[in-house]
Amino acid sequence: MDDRLSQLTGLSAVTVQKALEQLSAQCLLVLEPRQTEDGSALDPLYVLLELVDAAPVESPIPAPVDPWALRPLAAAIAELQTATNKLAVVARLYAMRFDTNIYPFDFGRMGRVAKTISGGPTRLCQLIWSANPESVRGNPLDYLTAIASRETRRAAVSVVKQGDNETDPQMQALQRARCESNGN
């Protein structure tokens, strides 16, 4: 009977068998005589065909895999290479990492952070993904802004250390201020 069903429906015998198993498991396989509108009896095979048509059929083509579901950071960085709206990519990663109902993404603020940080939106994505949502207290935007500011300051201090700070009075003042703020 399975072969006849598969010939009539054009489905594989395995698919027909699975559909029949599902239908019998759900107690939908009723072989009572049914009648048409004019009163003639329907063939039980016809009833089975209706039930098989209603059953879900497996797709022979696998569904495309979303790279964001597998490796979000890698997908974000790859998309940043070609995206015209880079902050939208950063916002998508932010939404995956943090609860946007409590702390919504602020495009203006994160745009300023992305411009000031060395590495731009790519580095901002790395910071978002490296932040542990459970350990971030308060607004994640404050946390990300603080990390970005710290990195910017460290980059400026490393430039000061590389430069000739013995002859430049502004560099000397900056270095003194840094030492005083660190308690040295």
* Residue spans per domain, the chain: 2-54, 67-182
The pLDDT tens digits for 143-154 are 888 888 888 788
Its pTM surpasses 0.85: no
Instruction: Single out the residue of 12, 20, 14, 8 nearest to residue 54, CA to CA.
Output: 20
How far is it, in rounded angstroms, from Cα 180 to Cα 133? 33
- Per the listing, tokens 């699975």 go with 18
Bigger pLDDT: 75 or 34? Answer: 75
CA distances from 179 to 66, 121, 173, 182, 184 (A): 49, 31, 10, 5, 5
The pair of three-digit structure tokens given for residue 114, joined into one six-digit string: 């992305």
* Count of alpha carbons within 13 angstroms of residue 156, beta-carbon side: 14
